Amino acid sequence: MAQGIAGLEKVIGRLVDFQIAIPSWALGTGGTRFGRFPGGGEPRNLEEKISDIGLLHALNRSSGAISLHIPWDIPDDIDQIRSLASQQGLKFDAVNSNTFQDQPGQVHSYKFGSLQHVSKAVRQQAITHNIEVIRHGIELGSKSLVVWLADGSSFPGQLNFRNAWQHTYEGLQEIYAALPADWKLFIEYKAYEPNFYSTTVGDWGQSYLFSSKLGPKAYTLVDLGHHLPNQNIEQIVALLLMENKLGGFHFNDSKYGDDDLTVGSIKPYQLYLIFNELIEGMDARGMNHATDLGWMIDASHNIKDPLEDLLQSVEAIMIAYAQSLLTDRQALVAAQGDNDVAAAQEILQNSFRTDVRTLVAEARLRSGGALRPLDLYRAEKVRKKLIDQRGHKTLATGL
């Protein structure tokens, strides 16, 4: 790590620029199918969600964007919402559509899928919804749509795989056609859940097939929690980047399935290795780290204070990013060229084992954030104040 002071200044500058979007659905307490244990003071509406993210951003200066889920977060008064967000220095990142739940008053049910559905009327309803989400996004200043489909089947024989794929593709084509010129479509994949036998966009290959057939505005979105056990996610991101088909990221962590744990809480080395490939791949394409991919957290907080968890997640992301920026790439290339396996491993582990917390804190301080965001959050008794304002039994729209 022959960085020198000038090198470190560059790293700090990049840390200052790096922003991670907070999902509007992660600010309340999530549940499991067994129960939900709300912590109190949850945001009751979009305005309060924006104010919660404003709080996070004031503390760490790295959470300068919000990702909305429609219809959970339909803005009533666009101008007011836009100005609320800009007062807190927040941008609107990708908007997310929802065809995995039935909404009150909805004509057709998504019980057996949405874009894949055997009935054209159901498919049309899902397409129309996605186009409406784009419309909301345009009003807010978003530039991308995330489509995550729960579509699939739970039992063998339930679904004709090819028909499901074709229907989904036709639907995505219509959604793609409705995108403004400067927008991106992110196609997210997930191995299983809610369906347990097949998922129509179940892995990166399936997502890549859709995104490459759709055209240059379509990309794959990688959610860390959506892989089968032991999958090599760092290799997936390297190849997607190589093909210019990686569009966005959902950060979280998991021990078993998609259990949406705090980023970096279980597999921090994997997180570093993923960042290492992201930075290497982005640099190879001359991409801007801060703006050329959609960086978002996607998590559900069942037992922790969601704001504390999000502070921890952002910190873990910044640490992995900083470590990957410090990685001695020249030495790595040389070791790879010599087939020096031990040296290559040392180079990566050396970066991963470097304690970069003070570097991250320095970047945060320089941009006006707190030295230790979580400590300040606790010292200021933020959650207690939110409970005083909003009450104990509030319910956030979302998961």
- Report the nearest approach of ligand RM4 to the CB of residue 201 (Å): 11
Q: Which of 278, 258, 315, 270 is nearest to 63 (CA)?
A: 315
Residue 223 or 305: the one with the smaller Cβ distance to ligand RM4 is: 223
Residue 213: CB atoms within 10 A of its CB come to 12
Residue 298 or 315: the one with the smaller Cβ distance to ligand RM4 is: 298
Residue 250 or 364: the one with the smaller Cβ distance to ligand RM4 is: 250
Which does residue 129 bind out of Mn ion, ligand RM4, none, counting CB within 5 to 8 angstroms by kind? none
Q: Is 32 helix (H, G, I), strand (E, B) or coil?
A: strand
Interface pick for Mn ion out of 129, 250, 301, 364 (rule CB under 5 A): 250
Given a contact cutoff of 8 angstroms between Cβ atoms, the answer to whether 252 and 225 are in contact is yes
**Choices 60-68, 175-183, 217-225, 228-236; region in contact with Mn ion by CB under 5 A:** 217-225
Distance CA 7, CA 197 (A): 50
- Report the nearest approach of ligand RM4 to the CB of residue 190 (Å): 6
Question: ∠ CA 98-168-182 to the nearest 5 degrees?
Answer: 70
Residue 116 or 327: the one with the smaller Cβ distance to ligand RM4 is: 116
Q: Which of residues 276-305 bind Mn ion (CB under 5 A)?
A: 298
Question: ∠ CA 76-77-78 to the nearest 5 degrees?
Answer: 110
User: How many residues at the interface with Mn ion, by CB under 5 A?
Assistant: 4
Residue 30 or 113: the one with the smaller Cβ distance to Mn ion is: 30
Which does residue 96 bind out of ligand RM4, Mn ion, none, counting CB within 5 to 8 angstroms by kind? ligand RM4
- Report the nearest approach of Mn ion to the CB of residue 105 (Å): 26
User: Does the protein bind Mn ion through residue 253 (CB under 5 A)?
Assistant: no
Given a contact cutoff of 8 angstroms between Cβ atoms, the answer to whether 48 and 35 are in contact is no
Half-sphere exposure of residue 125: CA atoms within 13 angstroms, side-chain side: 20
- Report the nearest approach of ligand RM4 to the CB of residue 398 (Å): 8
Interface pick for Mn ion out of 223, 253, 280, 315 (rule CB under 5 A): 223
Residue 44: CB atoms within 10 A of its CB come to 15
Q: Which two tokens stand for residue 193?
A: 């859940």
**Choices 28-36, 55-63, 160-168, 216-224; region in contact with Mn ion by CB under 5 A:** 216-224
Given a contact cutoff of 8 angstroms between Cβ atoms, the answer to whether 164 and 149 are in contact is no
Question: ∠ CA 21-26-31 to the nearest 5 degrees?
Answer: 160
Residues 6+ apart with CB under 8 A from 381: none
| Residues engaged in binding ligand RM4 (CB under 6 A) | 25, 69, 96, 148, 188, 190, 223, 250, 258, 298, 399
Residues that bind Mn ion (CB under 5 A): 223, 250, 258, 298
